[in-house]
Chains A and B, each alone.
Chain A
Amino acid sequence: MLQVENLKMQFGGLLAVDGVAFDVGDKQIVSVIGPNGAGKTTVFNCISGFYAPTGGSIKFQGEPIHGQADYRISRLGMVRTFQHVRLFNSMTVVENLLVAQHRHVNTNFFAGLFKTPDYRRREKEAMERAVYWLKKVNLLEHANREAGNLAYGQQRRLEIARCMVTEPKLLMLDEPAAGLNPKETKELDELILSLKEDYNISVLLIEHDMSLVMGISNSIVVINQGRPLALGTPDEIRNNAAVIKAYLGEA
């Protein structure tokens, strides 16, 4: 589904990402791990089009996408969340989900002004899809609250729901468990697995919570100081000497 080859990202004299390569197959969960400042989020920004990579290639479903505008990439079916939750805080929870469906609704000015049948139908569908996902992430009772007033864990779940209403093929989660308590992390674990199983999507994950990563990943990419360090199944990574050294320091 997603192929990243020899990805390079240079900021002035700083080579933030150098030669990172991995594949994400259909219905797979791939995790990107590495120490702080290793360049994980930079890889995400390159894939999602926020940065134009200075080298290498990124293909989504066989099509090269590097250097394309971010909103076009997202429309291909690749949406992401952010390390720091980015919701539309003064809009209600349900409105957050409606904004995300901008492409699915009728945005024609006159259609909306005169409420044409097509406009009404698509607005209704958007609302139904929003309700469906609110139920799925247990936020239905908070539908009319302002998103900024939700608890942190709820905001995290809303951000994932907001991605899912766009009906993506690949979901990119940047540290979804950061700031969650163990119970919430467990729920997140179940949610991600269910997204994969029930909606046939692939997940690309950046995470520091090793129990979460090891439990659900099909494969793991380890990055250290911008360079790929290891690539393999959770078991291979767990026993990889180079990875242990990078994480624990040299003995």
Chain B
Amino acid sequence: MSGLPSNAYTPDSKLTSALIASGVTFALAFAIMGMKLQGGLSPTLEAASTQTYVLIFTATALVFLFQMTREKISAFFSFIPWPRLPRYSTAHLSQSKRDQREKVVTLLFVIAALIWPFIVSRGTVDLATLVLIYVMLGLGLNIVVGLAGLLDLGYVAFYAVGAYSYALLNQYFGLSFWVCLPIAGLLAASFGFILGFPVLRLRGDYLAIVTLGFGEIIRILLNNWTQLTGGPNGIGGIPKPALFNLEFGRRAKEAGNQPFHEFFGIDYDTGYKVIFLYILAILLVLATLFVIRRLTRMPIGRAWEALREDEIACRSLGLNRTIIKLSAFTLGASFAGFAGAFFSARQGFISPESFSFIESAIILAIVVLGGMGSQLGIILAAVAMTVLPELAREFAEYRMLMFGLMMVLMMIWRPQGLLPMKRPQMELENV
């Protein structure tokens, strides 16, 4: 508030905004708390207790008073500094220095990530695996939204395609995780390609609506095609990935395979499986990071950004926007496919419920929160978006409320995202 000039509100507009704010408070509070439904089969509407009404009116009055005097209040509290997130910028460094620093940071992170699961509890490692899945999804969506500038609200559809590819191919043809992983990526990519075609002419809001529809189509299809997908019952018993021919169950499920603990002559522990999945997720994320890092420096990555910057200039320079947009959709989707196959292997059970719109929204929030185009930012945001709701579990029904509040505060402090890093640029040396 201290950022606002003190004369931002004339008395007139102040009164209006105060009236609106208190009106909204009253309407919301009255609708939620002021009435009660009583009776089971034929419910009747009943008034709440007098005490509740007193509360509602007090709250409304408080909001009105606060809105009328907010400048004075914020002036009174102005000695308290407005909290700021630490600013970390590498913008002043040259690209080669930044690359160097990035390598060191990545290496440290990887070492820490590999040692860490042997220290903490199994549940924590399992949660970390989930975080890594979201990291992969965030990085994949970042290609479409952050780099190519195409707002995709149905990204979860490709995630679902990947997950169901592994589950169905395993169920019907008995294919293993390692065979299905590339197939899931390819299938998701081809779905990205199919979606890409009709939406190429669309931009902004229109594109967002079409992709949103696509996401829902996939989910509803999975829900209703009961013969193939099992509908809302989902698919269970999806096997975990094996390490060559070592399985992580108590007994080997497939002929020729051996349980991991028997091979090494150690006691059976479910922890091995969890850590193995975690390390697998780390490897997948590293591969994703590597590919996307390369992509941003490749001609196709440059073309994505150029197309986002100015489509008309691109066309005048002989760039085929159809192919460029399609490639962004296709490549972005393929990462969701990999993540999906891994998800179904980790989970062992999938149903269309795992692929609702809220998932798309969370992945998009990760991209925006992380700072569009910033890879490290996306990793941090994925951690925040997955771990914080878990930590806030004890707040029960206020969990999502806190989550929403956090997002609002975030957008006030850092509208550009957690780590709005300077994007990697091609630089000319020795200038």
Instruction: Point out residues on A near B: beta carbons under 8 Å.
Output: 48, 50, 70-72, 74-75, 79-80, 82, 86-92, 94-95, 98-100, 102-103, 105-107, 109, 112-113, 123, 127, 130-131, 140-141, 143-144, 162-163, 166
Q: How far is the CB of B184 from the nearest CB of chain A, in Å?
A: 18
B299 touches A112 (CB 8 A): yes
Give chain B residues whose Cβ lies under 8 Å from the Cβ of A141.
431
Give chain B residues whose Cβ lies under 8 Å from the Cβ of A79.
316-318
Q: How far is the CB of A105 from the nearest CB of chain B, in Å?
A: 5
A50 touches B315 (CB 8 A): yes
User: Residue B321 contacts which of A71, A80, A105 (CB distance < 8 angstroms)?
Assistant: A71
Give chain A residues whose Cβ lies under 8 Å from the Cβ of B316.
48, 50, 70, 74, 79-80, 82, 86
Given A87-B313, A105-B299, A109-B298, output 17 extra A-B contacts at Cβ < 8 Å.
A50-B315, A74-B317, A91-B305, A91-B425, A92-B426, A95-B426, A99-B306, A99-B317, A107-B299, A109-B327, A112-B294, A112-B295, A112-B299, A127-B426, A143-B427, A166-B317, A166-B318
User: Residue A144 contacts which of B295, B302, B431 (CB distance < 8 angstroms)?
Assistant: B431
Q: How far is the CB of A25 from the nearest CB of chain B, in Å?
A: 23
User: Residue B426 contacts which of A48, A71, A94 (CB distance < 8 angstroms)?
Assistant: A94
Query: Residue among B313, B314, B331 with the most chain A CB within 10 A?
Result: B313
A-B contact count (CB 8 A): 109
* Chain B residue nearest in CB terms to A143: B428
Q: How far is the CB of B374 from the nearest CB of chain A, in Å?
A: 14
A127 touches B428 (CB 8 A): yes
Report how far A20 CA is from B315 CA in the complex, Å.
25
A102 touches B309 (CB 8 A): no
29 contacts between A and B (CB under 8 A): A71-B318, A71-B321, A82-B312, A82-B316, A86-B310, A86-B313, A87-B310, A88-B306, A88-B309, A89-B310, A90-B309, A91-B309, A91-B425, A95-B426, A98-B426, A99-B314, A99-B317, A102-B302, A107-B299, A107-B300, A109-B300, A109-B327, A112-B295, A112-B300, A113-B294, A140-B431, A141-B431, A144-B95, A144-B428
Report how far A75 CA is from B318 CA in the complex, Å.
5
Report how far A163 CA is from B94 CA in the complex, Å.
27
Q: How far is the CB of B386 from the nearest CB of chain A, in Å?
A: 29
Chain B interface: which size bin? Answer: 20 to 34
Give chain A residues whose Cβ lies under 8 Å from the Cβ of B181.
none
Check if B18 is an interface residue, CB within 8 A of chain A.
Answer: no
* Chain A residue nearest in CB terms to B302: A99
Give chain A residues whose Cβ lies under 8 Å from the Cβ of B318.
71-72, 74-75, 79, 102-103, 166
Q: A98-B426, A141-B431, A144-B427 are in contact. Are A71 and B291 (CB under 8 A)?
A: no
Report how far A113 CA is from B316 CA in the complex, Å.
28
B299 touches A102 (CB 8 A): yes
B319 touches A95 (CB 8 A): no
Give chain A residues whose Cβ lies under 8 Å from the Cβ of B428.
94, 127, 130-131, 143-144
* Chain B residue nearest in CB terms to A159: B313
Give chain B residues whose Cβ lies under 8 Å from the Cβ of A98.
299, 302, 426
Give chain B residues whose Cβ lies under 8 Å from the Cβ of A99.
302-303, 306, 314, 317, 319
B315 touches A71 (CB 8 A): yes
Check if B320 is an interface residue, CB within 8 A of chain A.
Answer: yes
Q: How far is the CB of B426 from the nearest CB of chain A, in Å?
A: 5
Report how far A130 CA is from B429 CA in the complex, Å.
13
Q: How far is the CB of A49 from the nearest CB of chain B, in Å?
A: 8
User: Residue A91 contacts which of B298, B306, B315 (CB distance < 8 angstroms)?
Assistant: B306
A86 touches B303 (CB 8 A): no
* Chain A residue nearest in CB terms to B303: A102
Q: A103-B318, A107-B300 are in contact. Are A89 and B309 (CB under 8 A)?
A: yes
